[in-house]
A = this chain, B = another copy of it.
Amino acid sequence: MSKLVIDMMGSDLGSAMSKEAVRIFHSVHPDCSLILVGKQDELADMKDFTIIPADDVVSMEMGALEVLRKKDSSMVKAIEAVLSEKADGVVSAGSTGAFLSASTLILRKIPGVIRPALVTSFPNLKAGGFTTVLDVGASNANTPEELAQFAFMGSIYAEKVNKIKSPRVALLSNGSEEGKGSPESKEAYKLLKEDARIRFVGNLEGSQLLSDGADVVVTDGYSGNVMLKSIEGAAKGMSGLLKKAFKRNFWSKIGYLLTKKGFKEMKETLDPKKTGGALLLGINGVVVKAHGNSTPEAFKNAMELAYRLSEAHVVDALKAGFFA
């Protein structure tokens, strides 16, 4: 049975949002034990759950180093509760930098992991399902050895969570040929070619990411973050153009009514809220970061993601992988 700790105060939208998310999640997964961390008066109506009081809140602007001084914050107390309450993991919508560094320092890396990676999923528009991408921003730069480890961790993740047997692992690059790539990715290519534990399929260009190019895509945190945000921006820009096309005149508005259902499906396929957020891989515990401006549904999906990771015993699988 899974046990998760929830930082109730991290989001831009306050505890009303996270309380609603917790209620929805609990109605779907009554078997999952939840520990809520936050201001006692704001959580007074959540008596069905274990409450850990925390008076302070980590602001969105707070950096990686400042957070540890915030010992009474809901974020730090939530992470610490993973250890003290023997929970499987923690979910927060607070500052990414603060959450990643506090999680790493408090829960510590799995022995053998050089550097944890922030993982997210992109929809595979061709074959359905999802493509796992890491790192999307835990680091600003990565060594070839770190990239090679990301490939291994991502492969275990895709197998355990996305249930893909022998997942195809690719290196993000500026060309599909072997000689292409940043200096670091070129060196990583050599390491991955020799790694018998994974199914390495070579370089992949950004254009192939959404079209079934691979099951796991490995990149340094800087380029990965640029890619993630560029795709988000492109999708948003196109949605704007789409709206404009529909609002053009009377007939196009009728046209919208006739095609609405199809577009709703399309929007859902692309909705980043559906994946619920990103997770930090390589840590002793499930660490899921929800979007800062999460709706109750998005925050609930982040909790779902943490639950899936916990039920799939991803952390144990990684530990076993690095021990082998």
| List of B residues within 8 angstroms of A236 by Cβ | 207, 211
Determine whether A40 belongs to the interface, using a CB cutoff of 8 Å to chain B: no
Interface residues in A243-296 (C-beta closer than 8 Å to B): 244-246, 248, 251-252, 254-259, 261-263, 265-266, 269-270
A296–chain B nearest beta-carbon distance, Å: 23
A227 touches B246 (CB 8 A): no
A233 touches B211 (CB 8 A): yes
Contact of A234 among B186, B234, B244 (CB under 8 A): B234
Determine whether A240 belongs to the interface, using a CB cutoff of 8 Å to chain B: yes
B229 touches A226 (CB 8 A): no
B181 touches A222 (CB 8 A): yes
Contact of A125 among B211, B225, B241, B246 (CB under 8 A): B241
Total count of chain A residues near the partner, CB < 8 A: 63
Determine whether A107 belongs to the interface, using a CB cutoff of 8 Å to chain B: no
Contact of A245 among B63, B182, B263 (CB under 8 A): B263
Determine whether A46 belongs to the interface, using a CB cutoff of 8 Å to chain B: no
Determine whether A230 belongs to the interface, using a CB cutoff of 8 Å to chain B: yes
Determine whether A174 belongs to the interface, using a CB cutoff of 8 Å to chain B: yes
| List of B residues within 8 angstroms of A222 by Cβ | 174, 181-182, 185, 223
Interface residues in A46-74 (C-beta closer than 8 Å to B): 63
A237 touches B125 (CB 8 A): yes
Contact of A211 among B186, B225, B226, B237 (CB under 8 A): B237
| List of B residues within 8 angstroms of A246 by Cβ | 259, 262
Contacts A174-B222, A225-B174, A248-B259; A240 near B181 (Cβ below 8 A): no
The closest CB in chain B to the CB of A137 belongs to B174
B265 touches A183 (CB 8 A): no
Q: Bound complex: CA of A242 vs CA of B297, how far in Å?
A: 25
B270 touches A241 (CB 8 A): yes
Determine whether A33 belongs to the interface, using a CB cutoff of 8 Å to chain B: no
Contacts A223-B223, A229-B205, A234-B231; A251 near B245 (Cβ below 8 A): no
A309–chain B nearest beta-carbon distance, Å: 24
A206 touches B226 (CB 8 A): yes
Greatest chain B CB density within 10 A among A221, A225, A256 is at: A225
Which 9 interchain pairs have the tightest Cβ spacing? A245-B262, A255-B258, A206-B230, A206-B229, A207-B233, A174-B225, A255-B259, A234-B234, A255-B255
Additional 11 contacts, C-beta under 8 A, given A125-B237, A255-B255: A140-B186, A141-B182, A141-B183, A172-B226, A174-B222, A207-B232, A210-B237, A211-B237, A222-B223, A244-B262, A245-B265
Instruction: Name 10 interchain pairs, CB-CB below 8 A, sorted by A.
Output: A140-B174, A140-B186, A141-B183, A182-B222, A206-B232, A210-B237, A245-B262, A245-B265, A252-B259, A255-B255
